[in-house]
Structure 1
Amino acid sequence: MPRFLPRFFPVLLLLILGALPGWATHIVGGELDLQYQSGSTYRLNLNLYFDAVYGNPGALDSDLSVGIFEKGTDRRMQNLVLPLVSNTNVAYSDIACTLPVLSTRRIQYSGPITLAADRYNNPAGYYAAVERCCRNNSIRNIRNPGNAGQTYYLEFPAVVRNGQPFINSTPRIFPPLSDYACRGELFYYDFGGQDVDGDSLVYELSTPLNGHSDTNMPKPEQAQPQPYAPIQWMPGLSVLNQIPGTPALSVNRFSGRLEVRPSQLGLFVFGIKCSEYRKGIKISEVRRDFQLQVIDCPRNTKPEVKVLLPGSNQPYQPGRDVLQLGPSNGRCLKLRFTDPDPTSRLSLSIRPVNFTAPLPTFTVSQGMVRTTGAPDTLFSELCFSKCLDTKGRVYLLDVIVADNGCSLPKRDTVRLAFTGIPDPNSVPTVATTAGPGLPLRVRIGDLVTFQVTGRDPDSDPVTLEMIGRGFTPGSVGATMVQNTTGASVNGTFTWRVPCPPTDKFLYEFEFRAAAKPCDERQASPPIVVPIQIEYANTPPTLTASDAAPLIRHRLGEPYQLTLEGLDADNDQLTLTASVDGLTLAEAGMRFTARNGAGKATATFEWDPSCTVAQREITEVTFQLQETTCRPVPISRTMRFEVLRPEYPPFMPANIFTPNNDGNHDFFELPTLPPDFCDSRLANIKIFSRWGNMVYQTTNRTFKWDGGGLPAGVYFLLIEFTDKSYRGTVTIAP
């Protein structure tokens, strides 16, 4: 509505105040929603809308009680007290239309709730309810509104379905209504909601619920289970005729858009139900109660917009003219828009009908008409992009002018039909300084650098692109740094040639210059720069002073070996030695290497030890390694063995005659096996026939004279650390 509101405002105020009783209550509307947090935790929210002008401040609760019930059985699952967490003003969509007798506040109550899987698993689902009285006395489409309560109702599914967790947040619906409607004029409002899970939402009108609260018990201690009594419509009204009009109140099933052309003055309550579907199955339901004030508004005349044909003052004729926009016909259209009402603020907008982009722009999108010093007609240009390409199709575009009338703006629309041809465009070009002798021949470690230049004939911003044929440049360390200056770009290619990880020694780099006029990529034909890595390697040689594959030595007999490695390419050589299963020191071995470029020598020494003697064979590997791109390791393996001492068969004498005749007077064991590493003499014991030990010694050179024992057979036990011998010895008379 144009800004003559102050002149009519006293009349409006009297009309509205005359329709109000001496005392009103407080509740405008509200709804519940349930939002998933994590694990088994959800958050339950109650949005309550409060009449900030005529509401009773004492009725503003610090908390409200919500009851949770099982559907089908109406079994009470739990009660939850929701504290008040916020109290904010609901802003009107157009501040110029605000009336002091209409003011609403949004009161939010919120609290966490635990929905355990072992408890909330009924396939029928659950519902939550809050009961509170009372509604505004001035509501004229229901019976006894001052004693009518409200029940905020929400349905939600079980948190388990088919044995698996079922997570769902109910829709958060409806921005709060903050406008009023004018009698006899179309009113519309987007009540559509949002669902974080991406489920489908379906809207329908519903009868608001009264429930069990009333003026005697406006705030019950707890909500009761359903059924909840509905409000009682006034005669001639129903769920499908909640606000009388032509048409009566309706809601779009899928968008949630409300429409009504009200025919009666007053305050009207209405109800909306939003059902949530997942894969075609209903899983939740949210109800919203709200109210709409219908008043008599000053008459508002619709504005007018005209589109002028290019190069002419003749208006465009919708349905007859098809504009042809292009480099030869021009891309800007002149617009003329006006409004017969004084002090109208007009705004231009566009709405594409059968396309999405690119959209044209206005040189002037809004302005005031018929104020002091202001013109009665505004002009603007609607300019299309040079990239417009309809590809032969006819595009449709609505050009809309709207005033700032109350409660909703009036509009005039011109639907344009047009085709578009973009400006011609040439592909960019690319060049390098890498030539002319290609391929570039390089060695490992060389630094390769050259310049790459891209240009665009149409002065479009251009960039350089680099790819590798069969590889990615970054994987081999190649880079190209570019500095863009509009239609020309220079890049520096840099590559420190590495040792190839495979047998590939030819690398082909492909360069292009690319531009994106009208968001469509155009690229130059590629320039390919092949780079050949020249590499050859002669394997080194390894020689040793002893060619025997098996070295056998006794304990105490040292062994020495010299080795020499040579490389024809003069690469750095390194000689190493390793023992299978041991360190060199544990094996009694020492390895001294003298490494260098083209030549490496080493001395290997071995002092045979018991550690090696415990093993049948010990292998030592000598390796010669060259430092080059693709090294060929050379190795030689030698085997070492410790020889055990040789001794005659052990056949001890088993009889002696201790009679001092100088012949076999003592028992001794001169042919005992010698000690060797872990095989050492531990004990010699002699026992009587009754098991009594009569002699014991650890001396392998002992002489036993019989100890005066009587003649007879005695038992002999010889113990080594790794074996033992048993036998007899006879003392003869």
Structure 2
Amino acid sequence: MLPLLALLLALLLGLLRPACATHIVGGELDLQYQSGSVYRLTLNLYFDAINGSTGALDPDATAGIFEKGTNRRIQDVTLSAAGNSFVPYTNMACAIGTLSTRRLVYSALLALPATVYDSPNGYYVAVERCCRNGVINNIVNPGNAGQAYYLEFPAVVRNGQAFRNSTPRIFPPLSDYACVGELFYFDFGGQDADGDSLAYDMVTPLNGHANTNVPRPAQATAAPYSEVTWSTGLNRANQMPGTPTLGIDGRTGRLTVRPTRLGLYVFGVRCSEYRQGIKIGETRRDFQLLVVACQANQTPQMVVRGTGPRAYRPDRDTLHLLPGQDRCLRLSFTDPDPTSQLRVELLAVNFPQAMVPAPTLTQGMVRAPGMPDTLTSTVCFPECFNSRGRVFLLDVVVADNGCSLPRRDTVRVAFTAVGPPNQPPSVALVSPPTQFPISARVGDLVEVDVEGVDLDLDVVSLELNGRGFAPAAVGAQLVAVSAVPGRTVARLRWRVDCRAVARGLHEFEVVAAASPCLDRQASPAAVIPIRVQYANTPPLLTSTFATAPAPPDTIVIKRRLGDTFSATLAGSDADRDNLALTATPAGFDLGAAGMSFSASGGVGSASGAFSWTPSCEAARLEPLVVTFSVTDNTCVPAPRQQVVRFEVERPGAPEFLPVNIITPNNDDRNDYFALSTLPPDFCEQRFASVTIFSRWGNQVYQSPDRDFRWDGRGVAEGVYYYLVEYTDGRRFKGTVTVMP
């Protein structure tokens, strides 16, 4: 009975314990900038799809973000499940039933504000989970070994400016396995969205704080993180038995190893990123490599021949491809293994890959029923292929379909290639003018035929340029006349207009060009000089305006209100250019000022009539300055002008001599007070009123009539004060004494 109870208790305790993922293959963290202060944090967890329990697949993962140096926790981030896919093989035909890996993706968006993430020490992210594959051969107690996924990133602000950075993305891993005794290679090289420099090295995988008792901690613990314990004889620099052992190229990220022992081996790779020589972050990837016993596979063999029967000898021969001769390479490749599928690839080493021609055969099977033992392919370089004196290097690679990775045979071919002989084209004028430079006037049509010739019968094109100017900018163009192989005729056609006047001498250049084998060749330029002759006599302007200047060059015309003034104007031009007469007021409207102007113009002459009837509105708009112009319609006009100032003549004002004493005694001498010498009325400047006050300020008389008469009757003798007001605000004051 007791053994049964103990068994039930053990089962119950087992059910209450959290799921322990004892088949973690590896993984890495990734942090990518999105926009503003938002980033995306992603965890890629690689899971053994053969031996792993689906109950250990977590719905999410918790990442902790810490400040480097102080290990201060900044925040925890929950990463939600975002993907579950198989990790592919390089060649699915090499898949084996004991190796299948899933890529589990956990991801979340998070904000990294500059007010928080500004530490010059930088930050790190960690996720902890247990446990690794229990059958790993190169570490101690692998079934209880956890994994700490780790990533470092810089502050998001530097020197007061935003500092954006995304984690370098390591090349996705494959499910490939290695064969014992065979060279294994794999590209772990990454790409960086910011263009930072990347460096790679081998590191010991991090164990962290997770274990079989706490396989999934509620949150990651701050650094430092413990490392896995290597088996006897192994270490960071020698992570698995091999000759050579597992290593990585620090610049390219290429992993290589020739394993010497069967088994499953975990390894760690670090990718550090540098900006302007300063390290700003790193990411780590843990992964596994399975070493199995593979079926024996031999390396395919290849022979390269040039024009002769002898095989090409790498590092000793240089092939020379000459025009008019055989320009082909002949490839022969075979494989000792039966039913081997071979694939040929041509890789340019020191010249553009796009220049490499395609072989006649790129893949095929050997030693199968009905198939030959040796496959052949031909690579022919076109006649125009030209190495221009350089020695080009071409890797000719044949690879089989062996597992886990194909075996290759590479022959590096050194060769030179010479293109077909060719002479540059020439250019000449078909009918050269008898005099240079060619003389032309505005309005003339200049035409010159030009011929381009190529003795190799290449297609010739003629190109038009200008020395210091663009032909199209002055209206010149090159018009095709005829074209046959090796000869092209075109015509320089130029209708000279005003755009050519400023420069005067125009030197056109015509170049003949041909492009044999897409290699442009041009002749020396044929120069066509054309001098544009231009002269202009200014027009004359006459009028019936008065000629008295005030000030100099300005004619002054004065007229009274309603007194109409008329004048005529005439323009003439010795060059018989079209003339136009205009009247331009300075800041006022002609009609509003009582003015009118009409004009007509034509070839060599123009006429106009002006009329002005002064009004109060004209007086208000003063000063009235009008510029009369005659302008010739030519490339560089030379207008002539007359400036006239019109003034409305005001009525004369007598000297203001008011009386200052009256004696209202009917003796016909100083019997009344009147102001006959007041300024006269003019438009809005009119007499408004007169008011007389006593010495105590009492009004004794008031009248709106400028011809008023005050006889002083009814007032006491003494001194009185008068005030005269005008509508424009003017005032006249004084005193008048009343005596008996």
Q: C-alpha offsets along residues 126-151 of structure 1, whole Å, 9 cap, x if unaligned? A: 11222233333332222333333322
1:255 aligns with 2:270: no
Larger displacement relative to structure 2 (165-174 or 428-437) = 428-437
From the superposition, tell whether residues 656 and 69 of structure 1 become closer, same or farther in structure 2 (CA, over 3 Å).
Answer: same
Larger displacement relative to structure 2 (450-459 or 209-218) = 450-459
Equivalent residue in structure 1 for 2:583, among 561, 577, 580 = 577
In the alignment, what sits opposite 1:298?
295
Separation (CA, whole Å) in 2 of partners of 1:221 and 1:696: 107
Structure 1 gaps of 5+ residues are 1-22
Contact map agreement 2:395 2:412 (CA 8 A) in 1:
yes
Separation (CA, whole Å) in 2 of partners of 1:498 and 1:552: 46
From the superposition, tell whether residues 51 and 422 of structure 1 become closer, same or farther in structure 2 (CA, over 3 Å).
Answer: same
In the alignment, what sits opposite 1:467?
465
In the alignment, what sits opposite 2:498?
499
Equivalent residue in structure 2 for 1:343, among 320, 339, 344 = 339
Query: What secondary structure does 1:35 align onto?
Result: strand
Question: What code does the residue aligned with 1:601 have?
Answer: S
Separation (CA, whole Å) in 1 of partners of 2:484 and 2:65: 66
Structure 2 gaps of 5+ residues are 1-19, 548-554
In the alignment, what sits opposite 1:4?
none
Separation (CA, whole Å) in 2 of partners of 1:82 and 1:494: 73
Quote the offset at 1:541 in angstroms.
1.9
Separation (CA, whole Å) in 2 of partners of 1:534 and 1:624: 24
Equivalent residue in structure 1 for 2:206, among 198, 203, 209 = 209
Separation (CA, whole Å) in 2 of partners of 1:488 and 1:676: 88
Contact map agreement 2:444 2:496 (CA 8 A) in 1:
yes
- The alignment covers a number of residue pairs equal to 710
Contact map agreement 1:69 1:75 (CA 8 A) in 2:
yes
Equivalent residue in structure 2 for 1:316, among 309, 312, 315 = 312
Equivalent residue in structure 2 for 1:44, among 32, 41, 44 = 41
In the alignment, what sits opposite 2:738?
731
Larger displacement relative to structure 2 (175-184 or 327-336) = 327-336
Quote the offset at 1:305 in angstroms.
0.7
Quote the offset at 1:683 in angstroms.
2.9
Contact map agreement 1:359 1:385 (CA 8 A) in 2:
no
From the superposition, tell whether residues 629 and 346 of structure 1 become closer, same or farther in structure 2 (CA, over 3 Å).
Answer: same
Separation (CA, whole Å) in 1 of partners of 2:469 and 2:252: 51
Quote the offset at 1:284 in angstroms.
0.8
Larger displacement relative to structure 2 (516-525 or 712-721) = 516-525
Quote the offset at 1:115 in angstroms.
2.4
In the alignment, what sits opposite 1:115?
112
Separation (CA, whole Å) in 1 of partners of 2:43 and 2:211: 20
Query: What secondary structure does 1:413 align onto?
Result: strand
Q: C-alpha offsets along residues 354-382 of structure 1, whole Å, 9 cap, x if unaligned? A: 55575454232322111221111011223
Larger displacement relative to structure 2 (155-164 or 85-94) = 85-94
Contact map agreement 2:498 2:635 (CA 8 A) in 1:
yes
Quote the offset at 1:718 in angstroms.
1.7
In the alignment, what sits opposite 1:325?
321
Question: What code does the residue aligned with 1:580 have?
Answer: A
From the superposition, tell whether residues 611 and 176 of structure 1 become closer, same or farther in structure 2 (CA, over 3 Å).
Answer: farther
List aligned pairs for 1:172-187, cutoff 5 A.
172-187=169-184
From the superposition, tell whether residues 626 and 298 of structure 1 become closer, same or farther in structure 2 (CA, over 3 Å).
Answer: same
In the alignment, what sits opposite 1:545?
544
1:404 aligns with 2:425: no
Separation (CA, whole Å) in 1 of partners of 2:47 and 2:424: 64
1:644 aligns with 2:653: no
Question: What code does the residue aligned with 2:155 have?
Answer: A
Question: What code does the residue aligned with 1:594 have?
Answer: S
1:264 aligns with 2:257: no
Query: What secondary structure does 1:362 align onto?
Result: coil
Question: What code does the residue aligned with 1:731 have?
Answer: V
Contact map agreement 1:24 1:146 (CA 8 A) in 2:
no
Larger displacement relative to structure 2 (28-37 or 434-443) = 434-443
Separation (CA, whole Å) in 2 of partners of 1:491 and 1:82: 72
List aligned pairs for 1:645-684, cutoff 5 A.
645-684=651-690
Quote the offset at 1:163 in angstroms.
2.7
Query: What secondary structure does 2:93 align onto?
Result: helix
Contact map agreement 2:205 2:228 (CA 8 A) in 1:
yes
Equivalent residue in structure 1 for 2:474, among 466, 473, 476 = 476
In the alignment, what sits opposite 1:525?
524
List aligned pairs for 1:366-515, cutoff 5 A.
366-390=363-387, 394-430=391-427, 444=442, 454=452, 456-458=454-456, 460=458, 462-480=460-478, 495-500=494-499, 502-515=501-514
In the alignment, what sits opposite 2:100?
103
Separation (CA, whole Å) in 2 of partners of 1:169 and 1:259: 28
Question: What code does the residue aligned with 1:705 have?
Answer: D
From the superposition, tell whether residues 488 and 78 of structure 1 become closer, same or farther in structure 2 (CA, over 3 Å).
Answer: farther
Contact map agreement 1:26 1:59 (CA 8 A) in 2:
no
From the superposition, tell whether residues 103 and 480 of structure 1 become closer, same or farther in structure 2 (CA, over 3 Å).
Answer: farther
Contact map agreement 2:306 2:328 (CA 8 A) in 1:
no
Q: C-alpha offsets along residues 165-196 of structure 1, whole Å, 9 cap, x if unaligned? A: 32222212222233111111010111111112
